[in-house]
Amino acid sequence: MSEPSTHEPAFRLPDPAALGRSMADIAERSQRLVGDWLERQSKTDLAEFGPPADPLNIGGAFLEMTARLMANPTRLVQAQLGFWQDYMTLWQNTTRRMLGLDAGPVIEADPRDKRFRDEAWQHHEVFDFIKQSYLLSARYVHETVRNIDGLDPKTAKKVDFYTRQFVDAMSPSNFLLTNPEVLRRTAETGGENLLRGLSNLLGDLERGRGRLSVRMTDPEAFQIGGNIAVSPGKVVFQNRVMQLIQYAPSTETVLKRPLLILPPWINKFYILDLRPKNSFVRYAVSQGHTVFMVSWVNPDEQLADLGFADYMREGIFAALDAIEQATGERDVNAIGYCLGGTLLGTTLAWMAARGDTRIRSATFFVSMLDFAEAGELGVFIDEEQLNALEERMRARGYLEGADMATTFNMLRANDLIWSFVVNNYLLGKDPFPFDLLYWNADSTRMPARMHSFYLRNMYQENRLIAPGGIVLEGTPIDLSQVKVPAYFLSTREDHIAPWRATYRGVHLLRGRNRFVLAASGHIAGVVNPPEGSKYNHWINENLPEEPEEWLAGASEMAGSWWPDWQRWVSAQDKRLVAAREPGAGKLKPIEDAPGSYVKLRIN
């Protein structure tokens, strides 16, 4: 008689009692979710009129694509023949591998593609076949829709974008039975990962009040003002649009000119003050700047009529007036980040027309002034989609922060959507605590009037580049009248503000301009402290018309661009004065930094 095995079975059976409790909890939460959803639906026009058929006009775009495709069936047949030839080769190679023979891959995943990093995708014949089948199909679909003659460029971009969304969603890594890592974990845990994943899914639905709000990080791991946004300072001014924070100095002397930072109001300011190790605020203070940060309000329906000009008047101009009261200085250096940079450029043109010279230098972080090549965000900008968006905003008075977050996440769906679906729902794991993703999930609303103006005048019609194309408070905006020195920082892999588009700004403004290109993307390329030495940057003193020519002549520099900016901005005015403490001037502190506006969450 053989000895009993001392090894545990490969598939661990779940505890029946724990399983029963989990299923009961899931059933109760599911019932409550459905009931809440039905109650909300009964209170909306959706119940009476039904949803719009195709508010994004995706169907029309694909219908036009199909018509163009059928007009040239020869190309389609050739693509299909190539696909089937590759597929037959894949079958043959897989058979050889199963017989123990060598066979190279027909197609390989991008080394940066994290979906297929598990070793089984390479070493197990079945999963390697599944992976390569998917990659061949994805390539076939993409090449088919990208190589259609006569398709309107905007329609072509929309078709390509939504095709990629579908292809990404159908990745075998997103499904239980075709993901080796999920299958292995299911066997190891006796299926407990799937129960935990279902619980995580219900938790996300509960948090989103029936709308799936995928958790990207542990929200309990961070506290604004506790372990993020902790640079010391005081709120010294506020109005209905913003709070103004003055940070405490860390040097005995400071540059005479204060530094005003204008973040985008699409997100919250503390991306520039996450933690001390990657805080741009801390760095600027340590370099002798008196830093003032605008913390925009998170608007509700009462601020639906806030317009772009209101952000200029009650944001920038109110901040300039407050800085003069706090420090006695009229002249400032200013930074605008993304939409904050678009506002800064527009405001500089308004000030130039009025003879206002208080902003003596301007820095633009990944900011567009010319929207002709707006990247994939342009996919969401056409008349049908804008009308649908304005209809939604009209009902509430603002655009929900979740809507904006979903749009940005779709631009990098594999990283910002599907990776969390796999981790949270299939593997049953809790997301990793990550400060940047906590900030990314801390979304803000957009006032209806401002957002409509911004999308139509900038993205849809690109009116900012035409002298007088935009008029704010009776003043025509002409960017060519801006003569202050400007520093443009862009990032090479930016999917929100493509660097070739932001580069156009150096020729729209007519001062002594400098352009620097950083590695990585819209956030990581900006928040890149010197201590980390993570991403390089490129510099070129010349500013040719074409961005590709600029890059061809640029020199790659190791590490962060922050010291380059510091050398540039300090050279604008090197005069020093005694360090300024918040509240020492005519403005008395209202509350400690980071203030109360930034702490308002909407989810």
Reported as a single tens digit per residue, the pLDDT across 111-140 is 889 999 999 999 999 999 999 999 999 998
Separation of alpha carbons 34 and 319, rounded Å? 47
The single-letter code of the amino acid at 97 is R
Domains along the sequence of the chain with CATH: 52-189 (no CATH), 233-384+395-599 (3.40.50.1820)
* pLDDT value for 45: 44
Average pLDDT, integer, range 10-39:
54
Separation of alpha carbons 272 and 278, rounded Å? 8
Phi and psi (nearest 5°) for 244? -110, 120
Helical (H) or strand (E) element with 592: strand 591-592
Using DSSP's 3-state secondary structure scheme, residue 462 falls into coil
Separation of alpha carbons 416 and 436, rounded Å? 12
pTM, whole model, 2 decimals? 0.86
Other CB atoms within 10 Å distance of the CB of residue 118: 18
Query: Residue with structure tokens 């935990």?
Result: 196
Separation of alpha carbons 504 and 294, rounded Å? 26
Is residue 338 flagged as an active site residue? yes
Query: Residue with structure tokens 């039975």?
Result: 177
Residues 447 and 398 sit within 8 Å (Cβ to Cβ): yes
3-state helix, strand, coil in the chain (%, to 5): 50, 10, 40
Helical (H) or strand (E) element with 506: helix 505-508
The β-bridge relationship of strands 471-472 and 475-476 is antiparallel
Residues 298 and 600 sit within 8 Å (Cβ to Cβ): yes
DSSP per residue over 95-138, as a string?
HHHHTT-----SS---TT-GGG-STHHHHSHHHHHHHHHHHHHH
Query: Residue with structure tokens 């972080």?
Result: 365
- Could you read off the pLDDT of 517-528 as tens digits, one per residue? 999 999 999 999
Task: Say yes or no to pLDDT of 566 above 80.
Answer: yes
- DSSP class of residue 421 equals I
- Could you read off the pLDDT of 385-421 as tens digits, one per residue? 888 889 889 888 999 888 888 888 888 888 888 999 9
Q: Which of 338, 393, 427, 477 is catalytic?
A: 338
Task: Say yes or no to pLDDT of 72 above 90.
Answer: no
Nearest to 595 by CA among 231, 291, 218, 221: 231
